[in-house]
Amino acid sequence: MMPLPISGKPFPWPEPPGDHRKAAVLFLLYPAMVNDPSLSLVFIQRPEYDGTHGGQISLPGGRQERNETLAEAATRETHEEVGVDPEQVVILGQLAEFYVYASNHNVHPFVGYVAQRPAFVPCQQEVAEIIEAPLKTLLDPATRQCEQRDLKRWGATEVPYFAVGKHKIWGATAIMLAEFLHLLKDMNHE
């Protein structure tokens, strides 16, 4: 699910420099409806702004603060951004960390579960829209698509994304989502 330059030559993904910051995000699983065993994930669309991630789709999460674990950072940020009580979240595991060079953050994705669909309350300063995506939609191969984008670092690049309704989940979020979905498929085949 990594972007590929139009030249066809894969580019090296940068290693985190010594001054990188740590952040955590949460893949929050929850039942889509009462008495419905199918699960959904929540994503957020950032408000439009001139910064690195303005208008993009991401998982709830953010920078780790002093004296908190990365899992605590993920649940705290999820609470701040979409109103989910950290006490209700059961952390199921952690995925591979991923360096986001554009913001100089080494992101640690966690997987969590809440027993019922949360009553989401978006933080107006950080969230333009809450996007709920059923796992069955994300697992559908038709959801994975590609488009060409002109990226600052690599120029013309074939960028994969997940099409969820009118939204395109791409970049670091798509890369982490692809790993998560791959692990789910592996678990279902065991």
CA separation, residue 79 to residues 8, 32, 88, 161 (Å): 41, 19, 10, 26
Tell which residue, 3, 12, 6, 28, has the closest CA to residue 159: 3
pLDDT value at residue 112:
98
48/96 Cα distance (integer angstroms): 29
Helix, strand, coil in percent for the chain, rounding step 5: 25, 35, 40
Q: CATH code at 130? A: 3.90.79.10
pLDDT cut 90: percent of the chain above it: 61
Which DSSP category does 93 fall into? E
Q: Which residue has the higher pLDDT, 187 or 76?
A: 76
pLDDT value at residue 153:
64
- Structure token digits, residue 127: 């969230």
* pLDDT confidence band for 148 (50 / 70 / 90): confident
User: What is the pLDDT averaged over residues 66-70?
Assistant: 96
171/107 Cα distance (integer angstroms): 13
* pLDDT confidence band for 185 (50 / 70 / 90): confident
Cβ-contact 60, 26 below 8 angstroms: yes
pLDDT value at residue 104:
82
Residue 113 pairs in a beta bridge with 29, 90
Coil vs helix vs strand at 135: helix
Coil vs helix vs strand at 155: strand
User: What is the pLDDT averaged over residues 13-33?
Assistant: 83
* pLDDT confidence band for 11 (50 / 70 / 90): low
What is the C-alpha R_g of the chain? 16
Which DSSP category does 8 fall into? S
Domain count, the chain: 1
Tell me which residue range forms the domain holding 142.
4-189
pLDDT value at residue 167:
96
C-alpha torsion sign, points 88, 119, 187, 106? negative
- Structure token digits, residue 68: 């908190």
